[in-house]
Amino acid sequence: MGPALAVPAEGRPDVVQGQSLPPSAEGAELRMLPVGAIRPCPIQPRTNIQSRVIGELTASMRAGRHQPLLEVEEVVGEEGRWQIVCGEQRWRAAREAGLGKVLARILPRLTYQGRFRKQLEENWLRADLDVVEEARAIVQYKALADIEVAESLLTDRGVEFEPLDSREITSREDFAQHLGRLRILLRDCGVQTQLSRWQDTEAALRISESQRKQKVGILKPNRGTGGSGRSLRRARNSNRQSAR
C-alpha cells in the first residue's frame, strides 16, 4: 500500500467515570452523554466499519475493562443531539455493550475542513485506512482545499455565494457539486486561476507526488476490466491479505 499518510499525534485526557470533567486545553468540555442522543457523521474518511474491532471493543466494555471516549459536536437546530467527529466504532461498540451513557469531549462547531482533518488524524493514529479509503481521503482533502481557495477569491471580489459551512453536506458528491458551483461563479466574474495545488495537499499529508498518484490511481476506471468497481475490490482484498 505504500507509506501511510502522516499526521501529528495527540494525547488522551484522563477518564473519570460518572464525573463532570473540566474543559480541555482546546476549550472542549468532557461530559457523559446518552448513547441514544449521539449519531454518526455521514461523511468521514473511514467507510469500511470493522466488525472484528467492534466485537473486541464490545467484549472489553462489557467486562468493564474499557471506557469509551468520543469526540462530538452539537447538531445544529437539534438541541440535545450530538454528531460524532471521532469514535464511531467505539460508539457502535458501546451500543452493542448496552451502555446507557458514554464519555464525550464536546468540541466547538467545526468547519468541514477542520472536521475532516481531525478525522484523518484519528483514523491514521488508531489504524491505517484501507487503500480505497486512503485514496478517497486524498481526493477529498484536495477538494476541500480547492473550496477554501475558491470561496476566498469570491469573497475578495464581493461575489455572493452560499458558503460550504452553511450547507448540510451528506455525501462526498455534495462537495464536488459545491465546488462546481463555485467554479462557475469564478468563471462568470472573469477569474481563471488555479485553486489549490496538488503539491500543497501532498505536503500537508506528507506524501510525494508519485505516492499520491499511485494511491489515487486505484480510483480511476480501467478499460476492459469492468470499470473501477472491480479494481477497487481487488485493491481492498490485496490490502487485507498483506495485513494478515
pLDDT band (50, 70, 90) for residue 233: low
User: Which tens digits make up the pLDDT trace of 180-218?
Assistant: 999 999 999 999 888 999 999 999 988 999 999 999 999
Q: What is the pLDDT of residue 127?
A: 63
186 with 96, same domain: the answer is: no
CB 148 within 8 A of CB 136: no
**pLDDT top residue among 19 and 119:** 119
Buried b (16+ CB within 10 A) or exposed e, 146-158: bbbbbbebbeeee
86 with 140, same domain: the answer is: no
Task: Please indicate, yes or no, if residue 121 is contained in any of the structural domains.
Answer: no
223 with 138, same domain: the answer is: yes
Q: What is the pLDDT of residue 97?
A: 95
The three-point CA angle 225-46-71 to 5° equals: 170
CB neighbours of residue 12 within 10 Å: 7
Give the DSSP letter of residue 127: S
- CATH number for the domain harbouring residue 89: 3.90.1530.10
Flag whether pLDDT at 140 surpasses 50. yes
Task: Please indicate, yes or no, if residue 21 is contained in any of the structural domains.
Answer: no
Q: What is the pLDDT of residue 146?
A: 97
Q: Report how far apart, in Å, the C-alpha atoms of 85 and of each of 30, 43, 105, 133, 195 are.
A: 14, 10, 10, 17, 27
Per DSSP (E only), the strands in the chain are: 29-34, 38-39, 69-74, 82-86, 101-106
Q: What is the pLDDT of residue 222?
A: 58
Task: Please indicate, yes or no, if residue 2 is contained in any of the structural domains.
Answer: no
Q: What is the pLDDT of residue 225?
A: 44
106 with 140, same domain: the answer is: no
One-letter amino acid identity for 180? G
Q: What is the pLDDT of residue 20?
A: 38
Residue that has been written with the C-alpha cell 445544529 in this structure: 76
User: Which tens digits make up the pLDDT trace of 62-77?
Assistant: 998 888 899 999 998 8
Count of domains for the chain: 2
233 with 179, same domain: the answer is: yes
Q: What is the pLDDT of residue 77?
A: 86
SS3 content of the chain, % helix, strand, coil (to 5): 50, 10, 40
pLDDT band (50, 70, 90) for residue 50: confident
Give the DSSP letter of residue 136: H
Residue 136: domain span: 131-243
239 with 202, same domain: the answer is: yes
Q: What is the pLDDT of residue 7?
A: 46
142 with 223, same domain: the answer is: yes
Residue that has been written with the C-alpha cell 487503500 in this structure: 131
User: Which tens digits make up the pLDDT trace of 2-49?
Assistant: 555 554 333 333 333 333 334 443 567 899 999 999 999 988 888 777
Task: Please indicate, yes or no, if residue 33 is contained in any of the structural domains.
Answer: yes
Percentage above 70 pLDDT, the chain:
77
Measured between alpha carbons, how far is 164 from 28 in angstroms, rounded to an integer?
A: 24
172 with 95, same domain: the answer is: no
Q: Stretch 154-182: mean pLDDT, rounded? A: 94
103 with 169, same domain: the answer is: no
90 with 155, same domain: the answer is: no
Domain stops at, among 110, 139, 173:
110
150 with 74, same domain: the answer is: no
